[in-house]
Amino acid sequence: MRVVSGIQPTGNLHLGNYLGAIRNWVKMQDQGECLFFLADLHAISQPHVPAELTANTREMAAALIACGIDTDKSVLFNQTQVPAHSQLQWLLNGTARMGWLNRMTQWKDKAGKNREGSSVALFTYPVLQAADVLLYQATHVPVGEDQKQHLELARDIAQKFNNDFGNGEEIFTLPEPIIPPEAARIMSLRDGSAKMSKSDPSDMSRINLTDDADTIMQKVRKAKTDPEPLPSEKEGLAGRPEAENLVGIYAALEGSSVQAVLQQFGGQGFGAFKPALGELMVSRLAPIAERFNELRQDIPAIDAALRKGAEKASALAQPTLDKAYRALGLLR
C-alpha cells in the first residue's frame, strides 16, 4: 500500500486539522508507505502574501512533525521542491476536460459569483491534485467527504490517459479512497453547525495547537452550549449541535465512542463536563505544542527535513514522469 496525501500550508493548525486528518496520517505510517506533502503550489491559486506562504510552509512542517509524522518512516516534503508535480499537471491538462472541471463543487464554492475574476490556477487545481497522487502510483488516498469528487476526477484522468496513450500498458495506478471511520468532524466552539476553521474571525471558536493550558481551559469554559444536561444515549444529542460537538471531541481525544462518553457523563451538566474536556485536551495537546514551539525555532532543521523528503519524493516520481512523457510521444 502506498498512501499519498497533502495539506495546504495555511498556518494556525487547530484541533479540527489534528483530529480530522493529521492523527490518521500518524497511524497510517505503520500500515504502509506514506508520502505527505505541503501543498504550497495549491496555495498560490488564490491571493496570498509571499512571505507568509514561506513562513507557513515551515510552520506546517514543524507542526506535522510535532504531531507525530516521522521523517524516517514517511516522506515529508513541499510540492515546490519536486518540479515533477507541475510537469505532470501540464501533461494531464491535455487529458482533463473542461466539463469535468466545471462540475467541481469546490471550484463553484471558491469562485462564487466572481468566476471571471478567479485565477486559472483555481480552475485547474484539481488537475494538479490528480498529478499529486498519480505521480507516485498511489494505491490509496485519505479523503474527507469534500474531497471524494476530486479523487474521482483523478481516477477519470488516469483511466482516460491509460486508454488513450497506454498502448496496453497501465501508465497510472487508479487510487482508491481511504475514508477513515474515526475521522472526526470538529465544529466551531461558538457555532455547532459550522466547521472549526482558522478563517473564523473569533479565536474563541477554535483550539489552536499552539494554545497553552490556560487558553484551552478558557475556550472550553466559554464554548457555546445549551442549558440541558447531557443525555445518557446518543439519540438524545439530536438537535443539540453544540453538545454533540463537545461530546464528539471528547470521544475523539480519548479514543472512545460518543456512547461511552455519555455513559460516563449522562445526566450531568456542562459545569461538570467542560472542565473534564478541557483537562483531556490539555493532556493530549500540551506535548504537541511544546514540541512544535521547539521545532519552529530551528529553521535550518525544518528546511533540511523538507529537502530530504523532496529528494526521496523526486526519486519515486521520476519513473512515472518518464513513462508519461514517452507515452505522449514527447522528445526529450
What's the rounded Cα separation, in Å, for the pair 100 and 153? 7
What's the rounded Cα separation, in Å, for the pair 101 and 150? 9
Active site residue 195: yes
Active site residue 110: yes
The active-site residue, picked from 73, 160, 198, 308, is 198
| Torsion 225-228-233-236 (CA) sign | negative
The active-site residue, picked from 160, 195, 308, 312, is 195
DSSP codes joined into one string, 288-307: HHHHHHHHTT-HHHHHHHHH
**Residue 171: closest CA among 181, 159, 180:** 159
Q: Which residue has the cell 506535548?
A: 287
Residue 111 cell numbers, joined = 469562485
What's the rounded Cα separation, in Å, for the pair 254 and 318? 42
* Phi-psi map region of 142: left, alpha, beta (phi>0 left; psi -120 to 50 alpha): beta
The active-site residue, picked from 73, 110, 160, 312, is 110
The Cα-based distances of 102 to 108, 130, 205, 245 in angstroms read 8, 15, 33, 34
Q: Which residue has the cell 471524494?
A: 148
DSSP structure class, residue 95: T
Residue 42 cell numbers, joined = 495549491
Q: Which residue has the cell 485519505?
A: 142
What's the rounded Cα separation, in Å, for the pair 191 and 204? 11
Which are the catalytic amino acids?
Answer: 110, 195, 198
